[in-house]
Structure 1
Amino acid sequence: MERVLITGGASGIGAATAARCRADGYDTVIIDRVGDGIRADLSDPTETAEALQAALAGGPITRLVNNVGIVCPANAEAQTLDELSLAWSLNLRTALQCMQALLPGMRAARFGRIVNMSSRAALGKELRTAYAATKAGLLGMTRVWALELGADGITANAIGPGPIRTELFDRANPPGAPRTQAIIDAVPVKRVGTPDDVAHAVSYFLDARSGFVTGQTLYVCGGMTVGVAGV
């Protein structure tokens, strides 16, 4: 059975992606601080390395979903250097470390699929200096990996979710609140997304038949990036 690794796969978008991967027939390996998978604090490079070693003990993994991330909301003058460092470590360094660990197996198989979970916030969003910077950095890394790894049969793509109804989203945006309704009104399809919406996009990029698509960013945002993202 082909294997897929999902970071931050215990809840929210990660959990929906894990469920979809199981339904698609993959042996699904999760690394997260909680849940039934391999437990590790991925903001720590040493714990990340140990978790990756444990994941690869079961054999090569040729599909990777770099999903784990942290937001650290604050306005520009209040964003701390510690928050920026944490966002860099979890949102960017972890993705690179996971790719490098899995890359030998992908190259040996002459096949690989990498999906990086960015965000619509990479295009700019208030109170998101650290988050937007690191999620935009993921887009740059995705493009570089697409160019460098394509000859080995490895694709790298990114997904930029818009507002997605997770537990975290509902805590920040209570259902029925005027601010929440304003978010919904701003979405062309007039609803917020679900984790399953994102998982469906991940499934496409992970598919063996998607080998001619690489270096791309797919915004799963209900149309909110229309007129904002470049053509």
Structure 2
Amino acid sequence: MTRRFLITGASRGIGRALAQRVADAGDRPVGLARTAPADFPGEFHEVDVLDRAATADVLGKIGDVDGVVNNVGFARMAPLGEIDLDDLAWTLDGNVRVAVQVTQAMLPAMKAAGWGRIVNITSLVTLGTPSRSSYAAAKAAMDALTRVWAGELAGTGITVNSVAPGPTETELFRQNTPVGSPQETRFFASIPAGRIGRPEQIAAAIALLLSEDGGYTTGQVIRVDGGGSLAGQWRR
């Protein structure tokens, strides 16, 4: 049986790697992002998810899916004394509101089918990383949603989990952690694996949660971080 999985932020990074993995497994990725990639191994819908009305319009055209991966991420970094409240609202909207809106739209069909997968992509920064207050708050909220939704949907055939990557070679990571920067040096020094992850490695963990074999895992935060969550010193 071919399944359809909706992936937000699917044009690059983890989302694009996951789309390829889904397609290679014989299922159909349905991508959502502001800019269409040069090639995509499935169905793609171009939309700015920060536009709530435009997002609702596109979601209404997608049809039924078997799972949702809330992968899109928005981040602006600042220490506590310099957080712009508009940036805080923007970050919470782009991460939390988008995840709720997308999942709500796709939930009825999954409930009716008695089978579904919801995966929220969160982050290691929820454990405490300097200058990441807004982003960490948004991703921590998504981890909380994972547990709430998993409890609400238990017994429906729908699982809900988070995958929390550590530093991963993506465009968003490099916007805030340039090559050769002090931030990069700190990450390398404190991740036990001694390197940052690749999008394909994060996609592998997500793919397991989307699979039939992932059907007994729900309400969990799966950390794919090279051991970063074991090394508390990098967060201080």
TM-score range, shorter chain: over 0.9
Partner of 1:64: 68
Aligned residue for 1:214, secondary structure, equals coil
Which residue type is aligned with residue 5 of structure 1?
L
Partner of 2:7: 6
Partner of 1:42: 49
Work out the CA distance in 2 between the residues paired with 1:107 and 1:95: 17
Checking the alignment, whether the CA contact within 8 Å between 2:47 and 2:55 is kept in structure 1 is: yes
Alpha-carbon deviation of 1:179? 4.8
Specify every segment of 5 or more residues in structure 2 that has no aligned partner in the other structure, as ranges: 38-43
Which residue type is aligned with residue 49 of structure 1?
A
Tell me, yes or no, if structure 1 residue 191 matches structure 2 residue 195: yes
Q: TM-score, normalised by structure 1?
A: 0.92
Tell me, yes or no, if structure 1 residue 100 matches structure 2 residue 107: no
The match for 1:110 among 114, 117, 141 is: 114
Partner of 1:85: 89
Which residue type is aligned with residue 38 of structure 1?
H
Work out the CA distance in 2 between the residues paired with 1:134 and 1:114: 17
Work out the CA distance in 2 between the residues paired with 1:166 and 1:227: 22
Work out the CA distance in 2 between the residues paired with 1:84 and 1:177: 24
Change in CA separation of 1:173 and 1:136 when aligned onto 2, cut-off 3 Å:
closer
Partner of 1:30: 31
Partner of 2:163: 159
Q: TM-score, normalised by structure 2?
A: 0.90
Computed over aligned residues only, the root mean square deviation of the Cα atoms, in angstroms, reads 1.5
Alpha-carbon deviation of 1:172? 4.3
Which residue type is aligned with residue 118 of structure 1?
T
Work out the CA distance in 1 between the residues paired with 2:61 and 2:52: 14
Partner of 2:209: 205
Alpha-carbon deviation of 1:167? 3.3
Work out the CA distance in 2 between the residues paired with 1:174 and 1:148: 40
Work out the CA distance in 2 between the residues paired with 1:86 and 1:179: 23
Work out the CA distance in 2 between the residues paired with 1:174 and 1:94: 27
More divergent stretch after superposition (165-174 vs 139-148)? 165-174
Cα deviation, 1:10-31, whole Å, max 9, x if unaligned, reads 0111111111111122111111
Aligned residue for 1:148, secondary structure, equals helix
The match for 2:220 among 209, 216, 219 is: 216
Work out the CA distance in 2 between the residues paired with 1:82 and 1:112: 35
Alpha-carbon deviation of 1:175? 4.0
Specify every segment of 5 or more residues in structure 1 that has no aligned partner in the other structure, as ranges: none
Which residue type is aligned with residue 71 of structure 2?
N
Aligned residue for 1:71, secondary structure, equals coil
Work out the CA distance in 1 between the residues paired with 2:182 and 2:90: 32
Change in CA separation of 1:46 and 1:144 when aligned onto 2, cut-off 3 Å:
same
Report sequence identity in percent. 39
Tell me, yes or no, if structure 1 residue 21 matches structure 2 residue 22: yes
Alpha-carbon deviation of 1:182? 3.6
Partner of 1:146: 150
More divergent stretch after superposition (136-145 vs 164-173)? 164-173
Alpha-carbon deviation of 1:170? 3.8
